Amino acid sequence: MGLFTTKPIEEKEHQEFKSLLKDKKVEVSPHALDHLSLQQRKVFKEDELISMAERETPRRAYLQANGRYSAYYRKEDGYRRLIFDIEMQKAVIITFIDVKELPRIKL
């Protein structure tokens, strides 16, 4: 892998990305919660991330240079970016981050 492995290389249509997740079990990697404090972990539930991935349509989705996918979901106060490792039988949420606005990405 190169230096810019998380760099988006291809934008995916909303429905194209949702079809990648279709019929796959969505899981949350233990790494996804590493940056949360113990107090935040009591409030924040993995089910929220799984529900977002299974039920909502992302505003934008990208294939990254490292083969993972980055998807931006709308929230009340901005967007939540989820990073997925999509395998044959499952989609693993590797990490997430809340951002104020969608990034301007030139491919």
Q: How many domains does the structure of the chain reveal?
A: 1
Task: Assess if residue 36 is contained within a domain.
Answer: yes
Task: Assess if residue 29 is contained within a domain.
Answer: yes
| DSSP-assigned beta bridge partners for residue 91 | 26, 86
* Predicted pLDDT at 25: 96
Name which of 61, 97, 101 is nearest 78 in CA terms.
Answer: 101
Task: Assess if residue 33 is contained within a domain.
Answer: yes
Task: Assess if residue 31 is contained within a domain.
Answer: yes
Q: What is the mean pLDDT of each run of 10 residues along the chain (107 residues)?
A: 76 94 93 72 76 95 95 94 94 92 83
Dist. CA 29–CA 27, nearest whole Å: 7
Calculate Rg over the CA atoms of the chain: 13
Task: Assess if residue 13 is contained within a domain.
Answer: no
Range of the domain at 49: 24-99
Q: What is the CATH number of the domain that holds 42?
A: 3.30.2310
